[in-house]
């Protein structure tokens, strides 16, 4: 049975689309021509009867596992801290990062979107910062961020606890979402589950963290 989804907000071709329940959010977004220049594809809301539902969707979420029901709406939030293009593109780009950077003193705005992010821990389990990676599926971004952290030597978090259930990979991504018998969004057994990603694997064999 096809589902009728109304794509609203910052997409190039808003309107009604009839899709299979196994379709992902990314697939529906592609049918709608992708996000418009002022859209943020990582900020998607579900509307039902004009009301926003308190659910989170990733691009990998399947409609069958989400709260999107026939006749529902997917709404892309374009109002999330828009970029001030007058500042971002001001002056010659050759001056960026120099003492004559034309953006100095101005607020650019915008949102940095990272598909995979991890905390950085120095010796003694000291939290020193974070690393974010984007450009692939969120699962692949996580794996790449993990390996970058390992190469940087900022993975001193053995024994910090964590929710992954793997002491050697305490902040690893978790895949424990099962279908909800009552329908709607799938249920994570531990409460921190992430949807499976297409053509991405290897999270369980990432290099272990160090003392």
Mean pLDDT of residues grouped by 10 in the chain (211 residues)? 72 79 78 74 66 65 58 47 79 88 83 74 92 85 94 93 90 88 78 83 93 92
Domain count for the chain, please give it: 2
pLDDT at res. 27: 81
**CA 77 to each of CA 22, 39, 40, 82, 158: distance values in angstroms, whole numbers, following the listed order:** 24, 6, 6, 10, 38
pLDDT at res. 113: 59
pLDDT at res. 25: 77
In the listed set 23, 44, 76, which residue is the last one of a domain according to the structure? 76
Domain presence at residue 165: yes
User: How far apart are the C-alpha atoms of 33 and 182, rounded to whole Å?
Assistant: 32
Domain presence at residue 107: no
pLDDT at res. 77: 42
- Residue 157 CA neighbour count, 13 Å, CB half: 25
pLDDT at res. 172: 93
Predicted structure pTM score? 0.52
Domain presence at residue 186: yes
Domain coverage including residue 68: 3-76
Q: Are residues 194 and 121 in the same domain?
A: yes
pLDDT at res. 53: 61
Q: Are residues 135 and 184 in the same domain?
A: yes
In the listed set 76, 106, 132, which residue is the last one of a domain according to the structure? 76
Nearest alpha carbon to residue 70 among 1, 137, 5: 5
In the listed set 76, 102, 131, which residue is the last one of a domain according to the structure? 76
Per the CB < 8 A criterion, the answer to whether 210 and 149 are in contact is: no
Per the CB < 8 A criterion, the answer to whether 53 and 67 are in contact is: yes
pLDDT at res. 208: 96
Domain presence at residue 150: yes
Domain presence at residue 93: no
């Amino acid at each position: 049975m096809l589902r009728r989804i109304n794509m609203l907000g910052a997409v190039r071709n808003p309107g009604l689309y009839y899709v299979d329940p196994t379709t992902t959010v990314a697939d529906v977004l592609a049918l709608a021509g992708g996000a418009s220049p002022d859209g943020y594809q990582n900020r998607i809301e579900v509307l039902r009867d004009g009301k926003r539902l308190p659910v989170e969707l990733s691009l990998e979420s399947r409609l069958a596992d989400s709260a999107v029901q026939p006749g529902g709406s997917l709404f892309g939030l374009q109002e999330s801290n828009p970029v001030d293009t007058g500042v971002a593109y001001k002056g010659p780009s050759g001056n960026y990062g120099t003492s004559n950077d034309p953006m100095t003193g101005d607020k650019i705005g915008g949102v940095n979107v990272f598909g995979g992010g991890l905390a950085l821990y120095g010796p003694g389990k000291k939290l020193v910062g974070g690393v974010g990676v984007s450009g692939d599926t969120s699962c692949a971004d996580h794996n790449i961020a993990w390996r970058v952290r390992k190469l940087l030597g900022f993975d001193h978090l053995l024994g910090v606890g964590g929710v992954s259930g793997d002491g050697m990979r305490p902040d690893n991504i978790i895949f424990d979402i099962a279908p909800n018998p009552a329908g709607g969004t799938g249920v994570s057994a531990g409460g921190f589950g992430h949807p499976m990603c297409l053509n991405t694997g290897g999270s369980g064999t990432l290099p272990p963290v160090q003392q």
